[in-house]
Structure 1
């Protein structure tokens, strides 16, 4: 990933949205649909199979009714944090869940070092306070714990932040990398193009990093 300037290049205007109404109202109705196609889901699940521990403590951030984790995981704990109780209750991979609006309150309701891996799937474009959220992710991860952020080119356009909507795929990779970098909580991030079939399926990208080991 390219070098980052010394100071965060973000302005408040970058994180405004066409619809600034309460996010809780937008997510009040359950959407039991997937937001990427089956091939992209398969690519993400395969990527997770390489990086998620078979047994461990996982946090699916900005979660819903499906986490796209491999079926053979035997995790001792899979916590989900999202915006709709009905969606979270339908997710068979979660062992626990909580409704929490990260744009209203970026502080995660968990203790320090509780998780081995945190994931955010196709939702990072909706964060209006991303650096605060990424600092919190670093706090709840154990030393050397990982964070995997995946995204495509789909979104709810009225709720995605302006900066995201003004960029293409390469810009999105750099943007998420900057979230890791300027949070001050992670080692230099790595990115992966896991798009399953260029031009025939949804593109799929991953940016991931780890907290410094002790």
Structure 2
């Protein structure tokens, strides 16, 4: 089966499910499932893909790429020091706030490492990235909603700390790590919450050296499936 449309339709019919059953599982319309099966929609979003795979009992990797094991949960465990083929090993840093800041050092500490499927990284960012410079950070709070929600995991490029208007960064201010957007305005630097864009924290350019930029946020990912992530 060469396309995701073929695999989705085959997996659904083999389970004797209706398009409406998949729609209910993924929180979308039956028309959206029909569009996927007809190839009108080329690829589901991660938010749709993982519920579909769970309902169908198949691996998300197989469903989206046609590679790997079809059935969910059939991959073999590996030793802690090994990285499974097709996965990237990322360091997970301490939590960052999108709301009240989380207390951290100048750069959130590394708590653990996890292996994330390369296809999942490409789906989230449109490309693969180097774990040497990109780390993961769990966001707490909803001040960056709807773009970043409480519990989302963000990719943070710790080598990209150059000031950029409109960029979303991990800032460390007075020992607190926060995820916010940076807007450059005539009266200074605005640290903006997307949920309350009209109420930024304004920092005078002369005092911006008190703010440490730990890295730029590249995108978000939801790590909700054993075929997507393996803890090491």
TM normalised by structure 2 equals 0.22
Q: Which has the larger radius of gyration?
A: 2
By percentage of residues, which structure has more strand?
Answer: 2
With normalisation by structure 1, the TM-score equals: 0.23
More RCO (CA 8 Å, sep 6+)? 1
